Structure 1
């Protein structure tokens, strides 16, 4: 594989991943198709991804946006960045097993949990803790969320997280229930237009499920910021959207929920 721009062939493609992301299938497909270009996956916190791309810390980066925010609105500099939406991730609420939420079979509504005390992981972050451009371990990345989950387990409040992050931090004394009527998190990939080349385009194709041997259509939806797929689908390489086959019952049933404020009988 050679670069579209003048210069030597790329030897390494750096992917900036985020907590909850699981790009293992992408990495396996990439290695099988392009063994001459090493895919280097480094994990960072959700925040600061655009700055990392600008600084050249990563060539392509995951973006997971706060609930209800649009990818195009956040990446508001189309002259600088390419972006593509891959899927939308369900929001979930985490609660102590002693909380009434534990009696809800699979989901609750935003109205159900309105007025409940909430735990904010941001309150547990040390501003002087670490460099936004430095790759970190999964344990470091989730430190604030893990502390927040401990507070939840004590029964002191509820915690709302993307599904993939909640599952990554799951523990036996905490239950996780989908929130039915919240917009969820947009998840996509972003990269600098100035760094766009054949390797980046091929990786975007792998992430979007393009089969080996298919013709790459430069300038298609993959660089326009539009996925072309249903926004509810969860592609290979990511977790946290709708459950996949074999992952348990489909969320949506509200049977079994007790009246608000009452704990389930033991």
Structure 2
């Protein structure tokens, strides 16, 4: 990347005209990208894939504006929150990969950590050190080739293992493993309304949400601003509908007050829209 690419591109008004997203193997942000293009066609979203190693440095150097981050769930703090913002999106299950003739192949669905604790495990970073691949993003692929040879086992996030699936390698769930937390990370000094809008897209925020500070007119019918839909609905209501609304309004308001205001997301749900995982509550560092 040339030095000129290290700073975000801006339009005539000084607002960014390009948002660069650094993705990781196994991540599938296609729906986010499509939604962004629909809402903000004037700000191009550039999607590039990288290996996991060095992701924070890419964000720090400006090679990407916002990037995926995937860490083992029990690793503890891995992000300097004085430098970076981050938000966790979901937790992904771990799997173990083994050569097709390994005894693990006899397991129907999963094995426990106790079952495989004495086995030899491969570290993708160490495998790359033996024979660095020409494409730095091929580290995990190279590791799977070593697994296929029977030299050892490899623990990976489920989405990565699926992306690298081979006929000579079996993939089984790994019980008693904490899994991997997946989120997005960006520089505090780079935080702006464009990045916050993208975070809103990943969290399922609607285009008409009052939390958005950007003009999402491209995602609304012509002539409608924020709140216009609700206003039009009220104008179309019959007197009977209005009476029902008045009769039930207090009950709905009371139900809303009883909800837990701190609960965001659905951490108990399995099945992330992109890769299949446990959704995480909102957790932006301050």
TM-score by length of 1: 0.74
Contact 2:22/2:68, CA 8 A, preserved across alignment: yes
Instruction: Give the corresponding residue for 2:267.
Output: 230
User: Per chain length, whose mean CA-contact separation is higher, i.e. which structure has more relative contact order (CA < 8 Å, sep 6+)?
Assistant: 1
Contact 2:90/2:182, CA 8 A, preserved across alignment: yes
1:60 aligns with 2:66: yes
5 Å-filtered alignment, 1:126-141, equals: 126=129, 140-141=135-136
Distance 2:190 2:271 in 1: 27
State which of 157, 164, 171 in structure 2 corresponds to 1:162.
157
Contact 2:51/2:139, CA 8 A, preserved across alignment: no
Deviation for aligned residue 1:100: 1.5
Deviation for aligned residue 1:58: 1.0
Deviation for aligned residue 1:180: 1.2
1:69 aligns with 2:75: yes
TM-score by length of 2: 0.69
Contact 1:13/1:38, CA 8 A, preserved across alignment: yes
1:239 aligns with 2:275: yes
Deviation for aligned residue 1:241: 2.6
Deviation by residue 1:17-41 (Cα, 9 ceiling, x = unmatched): 1111111111011101111100001
- Looking at secondary structure, tell me which structure has more helix per residue: 2
Instruction: Give the corresponding residue for 1:82.
Output: 85
Deviation for aligned residue 1:87: 0.6
Contact 1:82/1:191, CA 8 A, preserved across alignment: yes
Contact 2:72/2:178, CA 8 A, preserved across alignment: no
Deviation by residue 1:76-117 (Cα, 9 ceiling, x = unmatched): 33x322110101111110012211211211111000111012
Unmatched tracts of structure 2, length 5 or more = 1-12, 214-262, 279-286
Unmatched tracts of structure 1, length 5 or more = 1-6, 131-138, 219-225, 243-266
Distance 2:155 2:113 in 1: 11
Distance 2:59 2:275 in 1: 23
State which of 13, 29, 35 in structure 1 corresponds to 2:35.
29
Instruction: Give the corresponding residue for 1:119.
Output: 122
After the TM superposition, which of the residue ranges 121-130 and 14-23 deviates more from structure 2?
A: 121-130
- Structure 1 80/123 Cα, relative in aligned 2: closer, same or farther at 3 Å? closer
Deviation for aligned residue 1:123: 2.0
Contact 1:96/1:175, CA 8 A, preserved across alignment: yes
- Structure 1 128/103 Cα, relative in aligned 2: closer, same or farther at 3 Å? closer
Deviation for aligned residue 1:197: 1.2
State which of 48, 52, 56 in structure 1 corresponds to 2:54.
48
Larger Rg, first or second structure (1 or 2): 2
Distance 1:227 1:21 in 2: 22
Aligned CA RMSD, in angstroms, stands at 2.5
Instruction: Give the corresponding residue for 2:20.
Output: 14
After the TM superposition, which of the residue ranges 171-180 and 209-218 deviates more from structure 2?
A: 209-218
Deviation for aligned residue 1:234: 4.9
- Structure 1 229/74 Cα, relative in aligned 2: closer, same or farther at 3 Å? farther
How many residues end up aligned between the 2 structures? 217
Distance 1:146 1:186 in 2: 21
Deviation for aligned residue 1:127: 9.0
Deviation by residue 1:159-185 (Cα, 9 ceiling, x = unmatched): 111111111110011111111111011
SS in 2 for 1:28: helix
